[in-house]
Structure 1
Amino acid sequence: MLILPAVFVPVVLLGYLSYDKSRDQMESVTAGFLQDNLLLNAKQLNTFFKSIENETDKMIASRPLQILLGEEPPKTYAQEAVFINRMIDIVSQLRGSYELYVFPKDMEYYPNYKKLINLNQIEPRPEYFDLAFEQQNKGLWFHSWDNNLHKPIFIYVRAIRSSYYYEPLGVLAIQIPDFFLREELASPSAFENYMFMIVDKDNRIISHPTASRYSREYVPDDGWSKAETQITEEGWKLIAAVPNKDLTGQINQIKDFTFWIVVVSLIVMVCLLYFIVHTFTGPIKKLVLHMNKVRTGALAKFQFSPDRKDEIGQLVRGYNQMISGMSDLLDTTRTMEADKRRLELQTLNHQINPHFFYNTLDAIKWRAEKAKENNIAAMVTKLANLLRFSLNNGNEWTTVEREIEHARNYLEIELLRSNRAFQVFYQVDPEITKRKVIKLILQPLMENAVKHGVNHLPEGKGRIRLTAKLKGGSILFIIEDNGPGMPAPSSQVMDHSADQDQPRGIGLKNVHKRLQLHFGGDYGIRVDRSGSSGFRVMVTHPLVEDEKIVQ
């Protein structure tokens, strides 16, 4: 691979230096030529503008014009008609090769005269008067678009002042079509695409061979050589431009010649190096690309010919052996982690599910009924239901409906056991009653509500509310009571760092940990104390695909 750069780089550098030097010389000559031609044409335009300004010197010094503009404005239509006739005579005598317009200072007193004159785009507005009156002994150039000619026009505006008191009397305007200016420009006959354009101070085109380019922003084209110079005090610039292809014909030939030298050299070198690349560099490159896939977890062996006995073959065989060892290690690790998780879940489940014998409970129930202790019989029946639900034939899953029924059995036992009356309210979304959830997530929370909540209230004052609903993509259980509450922060997620602020007992911690082991850190128990009294616990459980659940 080192041979290719050793030949390719010198050839490319030689061609580039040859082309670059020729291009620099041509650009230098072109820049000088454009600048000289530009200055010559700028001088022609300045002479043209100066001739217009000199012509206005005689116009503004016209005594009849000053007398007419110095008179009081007409008060009647007849007086205005006399003014119009006199103004037409004066303008006819003063005008030269271009259209001339005269505006009295107080134009609002000449409504009929204003309708008579028709200066294309410049109306006798106060701002033009103010700009013209601010100038001392000169005027201002404006540009606009002529809707009749469909070309740009240029307008020279100058104030008319009294020769004696130098007070402003009015404004004159000379309108010049664009083609008059362009006739003053002379382009070299040797360049067919040579062109001139004029841009204003905002770099917008005001004169261009293509009239439709008027008022567009001028953006230099990389394929053109250009030169520019300022031509008016308003910031107008004259730009001369010529396509580079008209100037670099010989340079392009040199470039093409150099290109083919490089191409031929490359073809020769490729033919010479193909065998080396095919037999050595290619396999290594494929191996490197295959090794990069290992970062994404794709532990696959590299396929190659087992007959290779050279260094490449030894390298690939060592790599494949390493991949086999890594795959075996990962499989062992996955198995150990799965076993560890399963054992941990079983341990947590066993902490929550006490094992009693159903026959003992049946005997207690029978004796209670025989002794006509109906409350005791009811308690034993409900306790048996609790135990049957806890064991559930070893199945850890149940439905929302059965989980709520399990919590209801527990509360009814508490009501019978303690003889303390409290109210229980249920609000369950019917859409979720058949949804699949892990079992024993509500009973520990109900136990907490009874033990730390309603048991601390007077008889009949306790209230427990269970709400079950859909929220986003999860099932949300809310258990709240009106007890004294707990000295916990306003919102806290159950974790090991906050055990001192949580209800005592292993039940709630195990429920929270079981949820997180099953579904991740986004799910579990959150304690919320929104007021000075009462306690509120929220359980977030994901929606799980429906599967057959052992009843």
Structure 2
Amino acid sequence: MSSLFLWFAYYAHVKSIEGISNANLSMTNNYLLQVRTNFQNYLSALNDQVNDLIGDKRLQDLLEPAGGDAASEESFTVDLLTWLYQRTSAVDAFRVSVYPIDPGRYADYLSTIGEPNVGAQPWFRQSAAQVSPSWYLKLPEKGRMERPLLSYVKRFSGLYDQTPRGIIATDVSEDQFKRFFSPSGQMIEQRLLLLRDDDGVVLYDSFENGWTGTAFPSSVFVEQFRKDSEGEKTIEVGGSKYLASFVRTDNEPWAIVSLTPLKDLTGTIDEINRATVYFLIGYLLCCVGVVLYITASFTQPIVRLVRYMRKLESGDYQQQIPPSRRQDEVGWLYRGFGSLIRKIEGLINEASRAERDKKELEFQVLSHQINPHFLYNTLESIRWKAEKHGAGEVAQMVAALGNLLRLSLNQGKEITTLGRELEQVKAYVQIEQARMGRPIRILYGVDDGLKELPFLRLLLQPLVENAIQHSIRNDFESGKILISASREGGDIAIDIIDNGGGIPPEALAKLDMEQPPGGRSSESAKGVGLRNVNNRLKLYFGDGYRLRIETGPDFGTKIALRHPILDKEDKSRPD
């Protein structure tokens, strides 16, 4: 056990060092991304400033192709230098120079700015021959500049023609670079570099431009940032190991590189190692003490409780659980387990009583079934005698009543068929017509293929009774009832429609109310058929199968009933 704790502590130590390194690396990468964003914003602004100069009408007029004598050349020199002095102060760069596309015609101007042979320079000839702008690294020269300059060179033509007129060169010095390429304060010896990715030449070095103009000293690293947009690699330079991170710029073939000595990142690890050793020793001692305490205070009591539970699984409900005075979770477990045993004993006794009561109820149900069958047989005898004595109307009414009783009984089963349910409705309508002495116009639109499908009994007759008693009873001449049934997906969709006066609002309000205890009162009886059907549907099939009622005094009542299509093999109550 102690070795496991020791291994875990060592693993945590290794992961903490790894976390420190990853945090430093993440910080460096985020810093580089910020540097790239700021530097690219500067380059974009610089390009806009150069474009503003190119679009200046005065510059365009000065460099318009035309011949001239010495006097005009002298005037050109003065005018162009004056324009440069006035306009280039707005450009965020070390220096801005403008060169005519044909330098041979402006020897006086080029001598004045100290570049009489600029036309022979390779960068000038290359820029004059191409449309896209270029960057050139200018290294220090005697008597000209003491620091390297990165020059942004762009050829421009007339505003209204494509004739090249000149070249504008914008020199960026280390003063501009330092605003973006300053090492973060947390890394003392961090070095930020701007590299050209085609040959790995350093364009800027934050460490006093020590490597500027030379190739980066790790060709393997150069190959990596040529292929990837960002990344990091541990390299060795001058006998020291560095963590080199880089991000590539979006618009130029450059890479911004951070070079950090590994000792800056892992300098505190030795101190962490010593602290970790002391911590592991103390941790090991504490672990041993904690294990002993947990074993004595928690493990052993839990083990004893498990033994009691196993006895309970074997059926020993008479075991005595020793009382516990502890006020923690273990004490609550002991007291709760003892209470659970007592409740189980009570439930077993209650289940035994319920089983006895169930047997008695089953006996009573079997006894009571004799009465409805006796009543049905009696009705059959009355019908036979009525037919024998010529009372055909009485015989038909008694036959319908007997058929209604037989279909209602359904051999004690809750599930009948849709066809038998419709026969029950027809028997009820026949009785009502005979009782009232008035014909009831009722139409049936039911597919024959649906009549053999299982259906919960006593659903349609209460709804038809409700339509007769409350909708069309006052107007048998024009009153009509339509019963239609169709298959919709996995359901039977049944609509019962009448053209009566609609259902009273108080009856609809009581649709979801529970039936009051002790039977139906005179008030609660209104709408009880609807409520019973609605409650039975929700009880058997869920709330999604409740009745949907549309009613009003102007258009009558439409009751929509949905019944799931059950397995024909299942003649019992659905699950």
Query: Tell me, what secondary structure is at the counterpart of 1:380?
Result: helix
Counterpart amino acid of residue 258 in structure 1: A
Query: Tell me, what secondary structure is at the counterpart of 1:409?
Result: helix
1:251 aligned residue (263, 268, 280): 268
Against the structure 1 CA distance between its residues 425 and 246, is the aligned structure 2 distance closer, same or farther, given a 3 Å change threshold?
Answer: farther
- Provide, for residues 74-95 of structure 1, a one-character-per-residue CA deviation record: whole Å limited to 9, x for no partner: xxxxxxxxxxxx9597799636
Matched, 1:172 2:194: no
Cα distance in 1 for residues equivalent to 2:323 and 2:503? 75
Q: Which region of structure 1 is more displaced relative to structure 2, 314-323 or 407-416?
A: 314-323
Cα pair 2:481 2:498 within 8 Å, conserved: yes
Cα pair 2:155 2:164 within 8 Å, conserved: no
Cα distance in 2 for residues equivalent to 1:473 and 1:248? 69
Aligned to 1:436: 454
Against the structure 1 CA distance between its residues 267 and 412, is the aligned structure 2 distance closer, same or farther, given a 3 Å change threshold?
Answer: same
1:479 aligned residue (496, 506, 513): 496
Query: Tell me, what secondary structure is at the counterpart of 2:441?
Result: strand
Gaps of 5+ in 1: 1-7, 72-85, 104-116, 123-139, 143-152, 163-167, 198-206, 229-233, 291-298
Cα pair 1:449 1:464 within 8 Å, conserved: yes
Counterpart amino acid of residue 400 in structure 1: L
Counterpart amino acid of residue 267 in structure 1: L
Cα distance in 1 for residues equivalent to 2:231 and 2:67? 43
Q: How does 1:20-419 map to 2 (within 5 A)?
A: 66-68=63-65, 94=119, 96-99=121-124, 117-119=129-131, 121=132, 155-157=152-154, 170=165, 172=167, 182-186=201-205, 210-212=225-227, 241-243=258-260, 245-283=262-300, 317-328=334-345, 357-419=375-437
- Displacement of 1:437 after TM fit? 3.4
- Provide, for residues 125-168 of structure 1, a one-character-per-residue CA deviation record: whole Å limited to 9, x for no partner: xxxxxxxxxxxxxxx989xxxxxxxxxx9843377899xxxxx9
- Displacement of 1:68 after TM fit? 1.8
1:515 aligned residue (527, 530, 537): 537
Counterpart amino acid of residue 416 in structure 2: T
Against the structure 1 CA distance between its residues 100 and 300, is the aligned structure 2 distance closer, same or farther, given a 3 Å change threshold?
Answer: farther
Query: Tell me, what secondary structure is at the counterpart of 2:526?
Result: coil
- Displacement of 1:535 after TM fit? 0.9
Against the structure 1 CA distance between its residues 496 and 325, is the aligned structure 2 distance closer, same or farther, given a 3 Å change threshold?
Answer: same
Counterpart amino acid of residue 210 in structure 1: F
Matched, 1:539 2:561: yes
Counterpart amino acid of residue 547 in structure 1: D
Counting matched residue pairs gives 411
- Provide, for residues 465-491 of structure 1, a one-character-per-residue CA deviation record: whole Å limited to 9, x for no partner: 222344565444321112222343998
Counterpart amino acid of residue 536 in structure 1: K
Aligned to 1:525: 547
Cα distance in 2 for residues equivalent to 1:89 and 1:497? 108
Cα distance in 2 for residues equivalent to 1:447 and 1:63? 101
Against the structure 1 CA distance between its residues 101 and 333, is the aligned structure 2 distance closer, same or farther, given a 3 Å change threshold?
Answer: farther
Identity of aligned residues (%): 22
Cα pair 2:503 2:552 within 8 Å, conserved: no
Cα distance in 1 for residues equivalent to 2:566 and 2:351? 24
Against the structure 1 CA distance between its residues 93 and 156, is the aligned structure 2 distance closer, same or farther, given a 3 Å change threshold?
Answer: closer
- Displacement of 1:69 after TM fit? 6.7
Against the structure 1 CA distance between its residues 533 and 157, is the aligned structure 2 distance closer, same or farther, given a 3 Å change threshold?
Answer: same
- Displacement of 1:370 after TM fit? 2.5
Cα distance in 1 for residues equivalent to 2:62 and 2:315? 102
Cα distance in 2 for residues equivalent to 1:371 and 1:69? 139
Against the structure 1 CA distance between its residues 485 and 367, is the aligned structure 2 distance closer, same or farther, given a 3 Å change threshold?
Answer: same
- Provide, for residues 90-115 of structure 1, a one-character-per-residue CA deviation record: whole Å limited to 9, x for no partner: 79963634145789xxxxxxxxxxxx
Cα pair 2:415 2:454 within 8 Å, conserved: yes
Query: Tell me, what secondary structure is at the counterpart of 1:427?
Result: strand
Tell which has more relative contact order, 1 or 2 (C-alpha 8 A, sep 6+). Answer: 1
Against the structure 1 CA distance between its residues 490 and 100, is the aligned structure 2 distance closer, same or farther, given a 3 Å change threshold?
Answer: farther
Cα distance in 1 for residues equivalent to 2:289 and 2:343? 41
Cα pair 2:413 2:571 within 8 Å, conserved: no
Aligned to 2:186: none
Against the structure 1 CA distance between its residues 239 and 365, is the aligned structure 2 distance closer, same or farther, given a 3 Å change threshold?
Answer: same
Cα pair 2:550 2:557 within 8 Å, conserved: yes
Against the structure 1 CA distance between its residues 439 and 182, is the aligned structure 2 distance closer, same or farther, given a 3 Å change threshold?
Answer: same
Query: Tell me, what secondary structure is at the counterpart of 2:63?
Result: helix
Query: Tell me, what secondary structure is at the counterpart of 1:68?
Result: coil
RMSD across aligned positions (CA): 6.5
Query: Tell me, what secondary structure is at the counterpart of 1:444?
Result: helix
Cα pair 2:441 2:480 within 8 Å, conserved: yes
Counterpart amino acid of residue 472 in structure 2: V
Q: Which region of structure 1 is more displaced relative to structure 2, 441-450 or 171-180?
A: 171-180
Cα pair 2:397 2:431 within 8 Å, conserved: yes
Aligned to 1:424: 442
Cα distance in 1 for residues equivalent to 2:446 and 2:490? 17
TM-score, structure 2 length as denominator? 0.52
TM-score, structure 1 length as denominator? 0.54
Cα pair 2:199 2:215 within 8 Å, conserved: no
Cα distance in 1 for residues equivalent to 2:58 and 2:384? 134
- Provide, for residues 180-238 of structure 1, a one-character-per-residue CA deviation record: whole Å limited to 9, x for no partner: 9954434769x99xx999xxxxxxxxx99824456x799xxxx979999xxxxx9xx99
Cα distance in 1 for residues equivalent to 2:66 and 2:415? 104
